[in-house]
Structure 1
Amino acid sequence: MKILKILSLLAMPLVMAQQSTRFVYQATLTPDSTNVEKKTELAYLDTDGKRSIFYAENSMKRDSVMERMRATKNFDRSQMENLRSNLQFTIEKDLANQSLVYKSRIGRDNYSYPETPVFQWNILPETVKIGDYQTQKAETKFGGRTWYAWFTQEIPLQDGPYKFSGLPGLIVKVQDEKGDYSFDLMQTKKISELHQPLNRGQFITLSKSKYAEMEKKMQKDPVSFFTAQRSGGSGRGPAGGGGNRPGIDPKQMQEFQKRMEAEAKSKNNPIELK
């Protein structure tokens, strides 16, 4: 019994070393420049030190609801109404080479693009204590915005929320100059493994520029984009196609059109402006 106890104690550091960490951030966003009301939600950065994944808390909750509905065969989508997110993407990073894969949905299709962002950080002398961490300020330009980050060397992980990385420590807080977007570390906890989001179908891999074109098409004419996909088009934007699916009721289509156009207009202030 003593030998078994000693062996179990020796195994404990190995088990601990295999644990991953979840950094919980509060995301504060202004997706609509015409509406000063900010949106707030939680987002997770899961990492094992070699790779990380950034995603919305509501995304994980939606996955959980979807799995439960599949198991019970009770598909009540009203359960997901309060789990909508303004962070409708996941970002998977390879921390060794500071590269990432951005994944999201446009219409009914899954898209992804690879990126190796270049952050030219200017580390400033200003320091401040945020929560339990002593942090230092840094500045960079990315996606058409000026960003300020506060990082801590107390957590020697060159990572942070969204696409941000490359500083000599974890990014505890990052916000753009106008205050439209900010991410603030709220909590840190150990997890057994990185979260694996549910994938509904295969991903279409594009370049970042092609993906941006697709998003612009969706914003400009979301209804025709959706209709093309329903009618048997390529699923890659507005394109003709016959298809055998029955048409949507005109009244439902009108309501759908109003809803989609209103939603598109409310997303006029993306996190990356270019």
Structure 2
Amino acid sequence: MKNIFLFVFVLLTFSVRAQTHRFVYEYHFKTDSTASEKRKASMVLDVNPEEVKFYNYDFVVTDSINKTKGENNITWDDTPAVIRKKNSTINQNYLMVQNIFVTETDDKITWKLLNETKQMGGYHLQKATATFGGRNWTAWFTKDIGLNEGPYKFTGLPGMVFEVYDDQDNFRFTLAKSYRLARTYDTQSILENFAGQKPVKIPEAKLRKLMLDSYRDPLREFKEHLKNNTNPNAHFMVMGIEVKSPEQLKELSEKMQQHIRKNNNPIELDKAMHYPLK
């Protein structure tokens, strides 16, 4: 691992004045806090001249395929996607609840700097801790890079965050590589739009109501497609199960609700939904 960091992070020394810095973090997380294993994803932190964007690296892969092959594929998942002005704590949060929405939050984090240090890839890292979103976090950052940024909303330290994790071992972001881009990467077709649709900006309270409504009837849109279908050869699938009769929908809705309740472990624990059992 140390050799990888030595190879990758040496680029940072020469990219301080570049137009855009791209940092790629390995993200390990539990959507179900009772699970023994974590899911993982590669996440992009684009530090542009005026703003910062954090999103799934799969979006970049999809965008590249679309541009290379002239296709129009779309990708979205439940990993975080945020945009903020550089050196700001005001985040635009992009979320999918049936449709794409964006909420604005002020996410100032009060960090406590500690004297503990360590070396990683030739960089001198310092430890910091904070309580944010109902969880206790530990971050390792370096002052050797002239950026006060980090993954997700973990910004505001006097240096670049290399690693951050919570004390319950539910979430961990670790810097894996970085490189500079010749120009600011245009994410309009993969982040600020979804399938040609601009996100609707709404308050968090309204978004939570939409999430609750979606939970109460998780197959609402599916039922409409099934009802309006005129193709006798069409196949309708829910959670890998083919729906052959309307009588299946009640049981499948309950299974989906159970899945939603089980996977209710957001990064910001104090924003976890309180779903009714019935």
* Alpha-carbon distance in 2 for matches of 1:259, 1:61: 32
Matched-pair contact (CA < 8 Å) for 2:89–2:153:
no
Matched-pair contact (CA < 8 Å) for 1:158–1:169:
yes
Q: 1:97 to 1:40 in 2, by over 3 A?
A: closer
Q: 1:130 to 1:18 in 2, by over 3 A?
A: closer
- Choose which of 132, 148, 157 in structure 2 pairs with 1:167: 157
Secondary structure of 1:138's aligned partner: strand
Counting aligned pairs with the same residue, the percent is 26
Matched-pair contact (CA < 8 Å) for 1:49–1:157:
no
TM-score by length of 1: 0.74
Report the counterpart of residue 202 of structure 2 in structure 1.
206
CA offset digits 1:32-82 (Å, max 9, x no partner): 12321111121010112431100011222234445667x358x8xxxx8xx
Matched-pair contact (CA < 8 Å) for 1:46–1:195:
no
Provide structure 1 residue ranges, at least 5 long, that are not aligned to the other structure.
Answer: 1-14, 232-243
- Choose which of 244, 247, 265 in structure 2 pairs with 1:251: 244
Aligned-residue Cα RMSD (Å) equals 3.2
Secondary structure of 2:263's aligned partner: coil
Q: 1:85 to 1:112 in 2, by over 3 A?
A: closer
Provide structure 2 residue ranges, at least 5 long, that are not aligned to the other structure.
Answer: 1-14, 237-242, 271-278
Equivalent positions of 1:120-269 (< 5 A) are: 120-192=110-182, 193-196=184-187, 197-198=189-190, 199-200=193-194, 201-224=197-220, 226-227=221-222, 230=224, 245-246=228-229, 251=244, 254=248, 257=253, 260-261=256-257, 263-269=259-265
* Alpha-carbon distance in 2 for matches of 1:123, 1:213: 38
* 2:87 aligned with 1:91: no
* Alpha-carbon distance in 2 for matches of 1:212, 1:58: 26
* Alpha-carbon distance in 1 for matches of 2:258, 2:65: 27
Q: 1:34 to 1:66 in 2, by over 3 A?
A: farther
Secondary structure of 1:251's aligned partner: coil
TM-score by length of 2: 0.73
CA offset digits 1:193-216 (Å, max 9, x no partner): 234152120211112233233334
* Alpha-carbon distance in 2 for matches of 1:218, 1:63: 29
Number of aligned residue pairs: 236
Q: 1:16 to 1:177 in 2, by over 3 A?
A: closer
Report the counterpart of residue 241 of structure 1 in structure 2.
none
Matched-pair contact (CA < 8 Å) for 2:18–2:181:
no
Matched-pair contact (CA < 8 Å) for 2:19–2:49:
no
* Alpha-carbon distance in 1 for matches of 2:255, 2:245: 11
Q: 1:26 to 1:20 in 2, by over 3 A?
A: same
